[in-house]
Structure 1
Amino acid sequence: MDWKSFMEGSKDLSVFALALRAVILYIALIIATRMMGHRQVGILSGHNYLVAAGIVSLAAIRMLNPESSLTSGIVIVFVYAFVNVLLSYLDIKWPKAIDRKPTILMKGGMFLRENMLDCHVTLDNLLGQLRLKGAPNLSEIDSIVLEPYGKISVIKKPEALPLTRKQMNLPPKMVALPTILIYDGKIDEMNLHQMGLDHEWLITRLREKGIMNLKDVFLAMLEANGTVYVSV
């Protein structure tokens, strides 16, 4: 294989060489994404979005065009990642200078039309977002805030809020994540012991569901309310 043509690009590259270039570029994208951290994937600020769009466009061009340079593509991917990490760090130190700030779209139950115009938010779009938030009735809403990453936060009026267990003088509800007890026919001994349970308790729960053979169980989980979920 002509490695110079492979790295710098050539119209005569074989299908195997094109596939290998795509794999290398894909691995570079994964490494760059890991460098950028969870913020890039979960919370997109303005510069995060631009970096993501730029990297995707760059990768598509390098993967489809055999005459494009793989070396320059990899260099640009990591430069993009470095710039994004730097801007994210500066965003943490000086958020008002780097990124946008939250914008209030409704206050005291009244729309702030100037802020909606500044943010280019249409009424139809806002109403759609409110429906997705489970807040379709405007009379129940006190405030709406447009967050820097494009989502809206809704604050309802006190009289529209649901009753809490504390207000009803009920004991607090146990909050815990579901715990895997069996996966693919094997007991998770660590989880079982951490929950203060033993094999006898687990086998009894399985027999109550008509399951006699542990190997038949694909997944068994202990949920927060004490229910044992079983899938065979």
Structure 2
Amino acid sequence: MMYLRSQERNAIFFWKLYVTLCLLYFLTVVNCDRNEIQLSSDGYENVLVAIHERIPEDSIIIDRLQDIFISASHHLHKATLNRTYFKAVTILVPKTWTAKSDYEPATTERYSIANFVVDEMDPQYGDNPYTRQSRTCGEPGDFVHFTDRWVKDVEYSQQYWGDQGKVVVHEWAHLRWGVFDEYPDGDDDHFYYAENGQVEATRCSAEIIGESYDIDNGDRCNNDPQSREMPGPGCRFYPDMDSETTASLMYANYLNSVG
């Protein structure tokens, strides 16, 4: 059930998620500490999402962020076996955008300390959502980066990354718990020899089925683990999107069976 309270977009309640909008008056860096997220009565509060001032004004970004975190709250609740959810999320609007009566003035909120940021494309990552993790495994990340296109273009985002709410939960595991990805990210770690000598694709879990193709020519790679023949360097494993095997959110959150 959704409730609108006060002025049109001042507060929204859905799936125990509370989103408020604040107008950003200053972008000055106050300190190097990130915004402190709080856990209260099983709900995460004081989660700060900030839009950079170089992003052109577009109310669709605000609408989409609300929808995305509503979906993420649902998936987080399910992924944690009903233990937690997003309870309060604040969206920080840049001072370059038009002031509106339903915006609340920012107080201590700053883009420089935000937990999630919406900014232009990063040359290294493109439109890929990512979490900057400057610490070791098990320690919180710094912030999650989204591009405005990833936020606004639902069809584009779902085609390449799947459900946006599940993407947020994937990145949340990086940000909050310091979990690292469970998919291969180097050229030499896409396949491995199992203890029985058979060749397996790197995936989680090993029960996930799929096919292997060469990214250079599209040809099917050797897909028989009993051949004990390691696929070529251009081969990649592609999970079956309709597989009913449960996979890890840190491996392939885009699979239908995940979340």
Q: TM-score, normalised on structure 2? A: 0.22
| Structure showing greater relative contact order (alpha-carbon pairs closer than 8 Å, 6 or more residues apart) | 2
Larger-Rg structure: 1
Q: TM-score, normalised on structure 1? A: 0.23
